[in-house]
Amino acid sequence: MNKEITTEILEEWLENVRPYAYDGQVADYIPALSRQNPEELAVAIHYIDGSSIHAGEIEATFTLQSITKVISLALALMDNGEDYVFDHVGMEPTGDPFHSIYRLEQLPSKPLNPMINAGALSVTHMIHGDTPDEKVGRLLSFVHEMTDDHTIGYNEEVAASEFETAFLNRSLLFYMKQHQIVTGSVEETLDAYTKQCAIEVNVPQLARIGALFANEGRDLDSGRQIIPKHFARICKTFMVTCGMYDASGSFAIKVGMPAKSGVSGSVVASLNGFGGIAVYGPSLDEKGNSVVGLRLLELLSNRYDLSIF
Ligand SMILES: NC(=O)CC[C@H](N)C(=O)O
């Protein structure tokens, strides 16, 4: 395990990448996200031995957005098993933007992977629970187990703001309903999905989630298997192939870490034998990834030889 990285180094590097925050823009297609402060930056590393370091505005909370796609996939796999899940959602990267509807029209009409919105919506639909709130409650309990922190909830304002404006995600759901990939109420699945995306954390909590995946699904303190090893591996593989949307290829070359980003400007990376790294910087590039997050992970990867490849 590479533990040469110190708090001082993280602080210094955060200052070095800070100017890049002005190269991007905060997401505004979800109205509540447009109020995020692009100057808020934070980074945390949680090692698999349980120790952690961090720098920046670590108290700042943000919604996980697409990062929850990895968490909901793990729970859907545990609820339904691998065969059922992959009967409904594929395993291939798309190279398209995360909200694209284009590939759904091509046969087979199931979403290509669980990291694009269509796939993630179908995964949320698969999570056991009779009502949206039951599904979200189960997801939150799962996050509580992963972080050993029962205070984590979802941001109601962000969830409502997305629910009111999620016309494209509604279209994806209606299309999938036509093809029996999802059944039942589109509004209820969208309700669960938008609340899931609005789960709110800070970087130390997110880094711990990354570390749990890096620890092959085992709790960092007790060693208890929270996610079966095989399912944790499936999630990390999707992080490599599709975790950074249609920038996953260049990210693999430049950074080389299994990672997942969200439009709130958060990124989590998960490195076997090392731990989890979480970065928050809400200013996004044109693909929807945190500009500062990418820069910082690239610096860390190059300096400390962290690429898995
Ligand atoms: N890329 C993302 O983080 C997208 C998540 C967001 N809730 C959406 O569905 O549009």
| Cis before 108 (ω within 30) | yes
Residue located nearest, by CA, to atom 9 of ligand 1: 117
pLDDT at 32: 93
Which of 34, 100, 117 maximizes ligand 1 atoms within 8 Å of its Cβ, making it the mutation to test the pocket? 117
> Do 226 and 248 reside in the same domain of the chain?
yes
> Do 42 and 83 reside in the same domain of the chain?
no
Per-residue pLDDT tens digits for 179-211: 899 999 999 999 999 999 999 999 999 999 999
**Are 112 and 93 a contacting pair, CB within 8 Å?**
yes
pLDDT at 104: 78
Tokens (6 digits) for 175: 């299309």
Supply the CATH number for residue 12's domain. Answer: 3.40.710.10
Give the amino acid at 177.
Answer: K
Q: CA-CA distance, 56 to 204, in Å (whole number)?
A: 11
Give the amino acid at 132.
Answer: P
Nearest atom in ligand 1 to 262's CA: 3
Residue 65: count other Cβ atoms within 10 Å of its Cβ. Answer: 25
> Do 176 and 152 reside in the same domain of the chain?
yes
Distance 62 CA to ligand 1 centre (A): 13
* Residue 115 included in any domain: yes
* Residue 235 included in any domain: yes
In this predicted complex, what is the ipTM? 0.96
> Do 59 and 208 reside in the same domain of the chain?
yes
Q: What range does the domain containing 142 cover?
A: 68-197
Q: Which residues are catalytic?
A: 66, 69, 193, 245, 263
> Do 179 and 286 reside in the same domain of the chain?
no
Q: Kind of pairing, strands 259-262 and 200-201?
A: unpaired
pLDDT at 1: 61
pLDDT at 108: 66
Q: CA-CA distance, 272 to 258, in Å (whole number)?
A: 9
> Does 162 carry a binding-site annotation?
yes
pLDDT at 228: 98
Residue closest to 101 by CA, chosen among 170, 185, 2: 170
Tokens (6 digits) for 26: 């905060």
Q: CA-CA distance, 57 to 15, in Å (whole number)?
A: 12
* Residue 20 included in any domain: yes
* Residue 38 included in any domain: yes
* Residue 206 included in any domain: yes
Residue after which a domain boundary falls, among 165, 197, 229: 197
pLDDT at 188: 98
> Does 169 carry a binding-site annotation?
yes
Q: CA-CA distance, 117 to 198, in Å (whole number)?
A: 14
Q: CA-CA distance, 294 to 243, in Å (whole number)?
A: 12
pLDDT at 3: 72
Q: CA-CA distance, 181 to 280, in Å (whole number)?
A: 34
First to last CA, the chain: 16
Provide the whole-model pTM: 0.96
Q: Kind of pairing, strands 266-271 and 275-280?
A: antiparallel
Contacts of 59 (CB under 8 A, 6+ apart): 202
Which of 28, 66, 238, 266 maximizes ligand 1 atoms within 8 Å of its Cβ, making it the mutation to test the pocket? 66
**Are 292 and 41 a contacting pair, CB within 8 Å?**
yes
Distance 141 CA to ligand 1 centre (A): 21
Which of 26, 34, 63, 98 maximizes ligand 1 atoms within 8 Å of its Cβ, making it the mutation to test the pocket? 98
Nearest atom in ligand 1 to 261's CA: 3
pLDDT at 229: 98
pLDDT at 257: 98
Distance 237 CA to ligand 1 centre (A): 20
Residue after which a domain boundary falls, among 175, 197, 219: 197
pLDDT at 199: 98
Supply the CATH number for residue 191's domain. Answer: 1.10.1500.10
Low-confidence ranges of the chain (pLDDT < 70): 1-2, 107-108
> Do 82 and 187 reside in the same domain of the chain?
yes
